[in-house]
């Protein structure tokens, strides 16, 4: 693993100077490979080196991602460097993360009784005001309305069974509206519509994209999402998930592992391995194709993605944001027999 990681880092160094003279840098070339390197250093608890790489990444683009500012702040906190910690927390506020959200983060508990936090909280209203001045509130509201429209008849009595035709018509109309706004404003990223007070992984409007599946001959968002990643409007891990949802297949490896959840298997030694991370099965050729697609989005190879998920550790899994709800698929089974079938699926050679 170490040798492969070093080879990956060497490849990263080759792209660090990629056309910095460009007006809009390609984030898949100059930013995300560095972020991947920083995250691997965090996993290995090399926080000082991670901070150095985060700094390089942030300097390479006009607008870094909030999630990366947060992980940089946590790295600084691990080093007890409060100046850098609050520097990056200030950046989060300017992205739309609320003070209330940060106050609820257990990882920041050690800071809330300090004079630095009091100063940070005192400056918050002005920074929040500055954020709101640059936020396209009207577009954010319109995008939120897409989600409300999507859910209305699904939540009504009878749901999809009764209102199928109406729901499908709404999905089509929502897609046209979203594509129109993308044409007018560009993809609605953090800098355009901000964050909904939290470090949201996917804004609610992306449900429109998820509905347009290949199986139902939906609109293909591949070009839109790929360009959005290149332009720094969409994070690559989010794009990989949305593209996999559209395809109905794990083409970008967004789902790396599986776990089997069986309430009736707890006292049976036969099922001791149910809590283990079981990799989604791919042939060598399939994994190579997945890695090619991931590289197009600026993502690390699948093997290093898996390394992050497994080796981050429970404590740092809570502190940092390095994995996602879709990274590990939980299969809930009703019986021991069903658990055996699932185990065979993931363990057979």
Residue where the block lists tokens 């099922």: 271
The answer to whether residues 142 and 160 belong to one domain is yes
pLDDT at 18: 43
**pLDDT tens-digit map of 303-335:** 999 999 999 988 899 999 998 889 998 889 999
**pLDDT exceeds 70 at position 84:** yes
Cβ atoms of 148 and 197 within 8 Å: the answer is no
The answer to whether residues 209 and 222 belong to one domain is yes
CATH of the domain at 48: 1.25.40.10
The answer to whether residues 242 and 327 belong to one domain is no
**pLDDT tens-digit map of 142-175:** 999 999 999 988 888 888 888 889 999 999 999 9
- pTM, rounded to two decimals: 0.89
pLDDT at 156: 87
The answer to whether residues 212 and 265 belong to one domain is no
The answer to whether residues 71 and 153 belong to one domain is no
The answer to whether residues 157 and 118 belong to one domain is no
The answer to whether residues 127 and 15 belong to one domain is yes
Domain boundary among 82, 112, 134: 134
Cβ atoms of 174 and 146 within 8 Å: the answer is yes
Question: What is the percentage of the chain residues whose pLDDT exceeds 70?
Answer: 93
**pLDDT tens-digit map of 248-277:** 999 999 999 988 888 888 788 777 777 788
Q: Which residue has the higher pLDDT, 26 or 19?
A: 26
Average pLDDT value for the chain: 91
Residue 141, token pair as written in the block = 């509201």
**pLDDT tens-digit map of 275-301:** 788 888 888 999 999 999 999 999 999
| 158 membership: H or E segment, kind and range | none
pLDDT at 68: 98
pLDDT at 160: 81
The answer to whether residues 226 and 277 belong to one domain is no
Q: C-alpha distances in angstroms, 107 versus 45, 78, 82, 84, 112?
A: 16, 10, 14, 16, 10
The answer to whether residues 212 and 263 belong to one domain is no
Q: Which domain holds residue 129?
A: 2-134
The answer to whether residues 6 and 75 belong to one domain is yes
**pLDDT exceeds 70 at position 9:** no
Q: Put the strands of the sheet holding 257-261 in their side by side order.
A: 278-279, 257-261, 328-332
The answer to whether residues 116 and 177 belong to one domain is no
Question: What domain count does the chain have?
Answer: 3
Domain boundary among 111, 134, 157: 134
The answer to whether residues 308 and 221 belong to one domain is no
């Amino acid at each position: 693993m170490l040798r492969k990681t070093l080879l990956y880092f060497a490849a990263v160094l080759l792209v660090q100077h990629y056309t910095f003279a460009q007006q809009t840098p390609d984030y898949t070339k100059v930013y995300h490979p560095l972020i991947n390197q920083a995250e691997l250093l965090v996993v290995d608890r090399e926080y000082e080196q991670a901070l150095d790489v985060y700094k390089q990444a942030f300097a390479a683009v006009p607008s870094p991602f909030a999630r990366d500012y947060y992980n940089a702040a946590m790295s600084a906190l691990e080093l007890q460097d409060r100046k850098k910690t609050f520097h990056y927390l200030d950046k989060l506020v300017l992205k739309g993360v609320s003070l209330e959200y940060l106050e609820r983060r257990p990882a920041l508990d050690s800071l809330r009784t300090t004079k630095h936090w009091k100063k940070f909280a005192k400056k918050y209203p002005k920074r929040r005001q500055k954020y709101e001045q640059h936020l396209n509130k009207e577009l954010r509201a319109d995008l939120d309305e897409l989600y409300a429209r999507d859910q209305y008849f699904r939540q009504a009595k009878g749901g999809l069974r009764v209102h199928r035709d109406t729901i499908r018509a709404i999905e089509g109309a929502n897609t046209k509206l979203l594509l129109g706004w993308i044409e007018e404003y560009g993809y609605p990223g953090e800098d355009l519509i901000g964050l909904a007070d939290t470090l949201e992984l996917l804004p609610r409007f992306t449900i429109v994209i998820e509905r347009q599946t290949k199986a139902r001959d939906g609109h293909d968002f591949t070009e839109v999402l790929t360009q959005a990643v290149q332009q720094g409007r969409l994070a690559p891990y989010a794009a990989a998930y949305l593209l996999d949802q559209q395809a109905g297949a794990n083409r970008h490896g967004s789902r790396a592992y599986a776990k089997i959840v069986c309430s009736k298997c707890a006292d049976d030694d036969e099922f001791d391995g149910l809590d283990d991370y079981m990799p989604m099965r791919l042939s060598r050729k399939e994994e190579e194709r997945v890695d090619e697609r991931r590289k197009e989005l600026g993502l690390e190879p699948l093997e290093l993605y898996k390394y992050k998920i497994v080796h981050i550790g429970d404590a740092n899994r809570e502190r940092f944001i390095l994995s996602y709800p879709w990274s590990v698929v939980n299969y809930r089974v009703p019986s021991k027999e069903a658990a055996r079938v699932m185990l065979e699926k993931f363990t057979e050679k």
